[in-house]
Amino acid sequence: MAATLEGEIRDLRARFWSERDPEGRVFAPLADACRRAGDLDEASRLVSEGTERLPGYAPGHLVAARVARDRGEAQIATRAYRRVLNLDPENVEALRELAALAESEGWDPVAADLLHRIYLLEPDDGALRERLRAVKRRCLAEELEAVPGTPGEARELTGAAPEPPSAPAEPESAVPESPVPGPPAPEPAAPEAEPAVPEAAAEG
């Protein structure tokens, strides 16, 4: 832990619940300093106690979201970020951090909505504008790929590289196959001759 961070934590602990902090709000920066120092258990304990005691204090929920995010608890972090935005809808820090979390989790429609909200607050941010466009292109591609028969359209609208053409099929031969000769037909048998009758017997 850096000496400056150790000193920050020490100063915040001295101020916590002191005359300068009669409501105990210093739990938020103290927990954030512990988080940055890697002491997530202590940070989690501080924000759990602090947000329960001061449920309407948005900075406390923001730090709680960061602690949960760093612990890999995306759903818990999302709920904490949403609490911040319920209390302070234009909190750009919460919007940016939740948008980044949504992108990392593959929740592109959520990320697009959050980035659009930030863009309305900060329309001159060129990097944000390009990031929003990229997320919207991914959303559009996912929607089009889900519709049968539209992969080409999805690539055209989203700028994806086209698929290579498939090799042409071998043409069928136009020459009819020669018939296979069968066995020769048998010749008709000659009629048998009637036996000759002796003349004497015939007269008889």
Could you give the number of structural domains in the chain?
2
In a shared domain, residues 145 and 97 = yes
pLDDT of 187: 56
In a shared domain, residues 56 and 108 = no
In a shared domain, residues 105 and 155 = yes
In a shared domain, residues 18 and 42 = yes
> Are 118 and 96 a contacting pair, CB within 8 Å?
yes
In a shared domain, residues 109 and 72 = no
The dihedrals phi and psi of 193, each to the nearest 5 degrees, come to -75, 140
76's tokens: 């818990």
In a shared domain, residues 70 and 97 = no
Burial class of residue 165 (count of CB atoms within 10 Å of its CB; 0-12, 13-18, 19+): exposed
26's tokens: 């210093």
CATH assignment at residue 76: 1.25.40.10
In a shared domain, residues 84 and 23 = yes
The C-alpha torsion from 149 through 113 and 109 to 148, rounded to 10°, is -10
Tokens 């863009």, residue located: 119
In a domain, 20, yes or no: yes
In a shared domain, residues 38 and 79 = yes
In a shared domain, residues 56 and 100 = no
Final residue before a domain boundary, out of 59, 89, 119: 89
In a shared domain, residues 134 and 151 = yes
pLDDT of 146: 80
pLDDT of 143: 87
Final residue before a domain boundary, out of 71, 89, 107: 89
Tokens 């900075």, residue located: 59
pLDDT of 11: 98
In a shared domain, residues 1 and 85 = yes
Final residue before a domain boundary, out of 62, 89, 116: 89
| Nearest by Cα to 141 from 131, 152, 130 | 152
Full domain range(s) for residue 85: 1-89
178's tokens: 């020669």
pTM over the 0.95 mark: no
In a shared domain, residues 76 and 113 = no
What pLDDT tens digit does each residue of the chain (204 aa) get? 667 999 999 999 999 999 999 999 999 999 999 999 999 999 999 999 999 999 999 999 999 999 999 999 999 999 999 999 999 999 999 999 999 999 999 999 999 999 999 999 999 999 999 999 999 999 999 888 887 754 554 444 444 444 444 555 555 544 445 444 555 555 555 555 555 544 444 444
In a domain, 196, yes or no: no
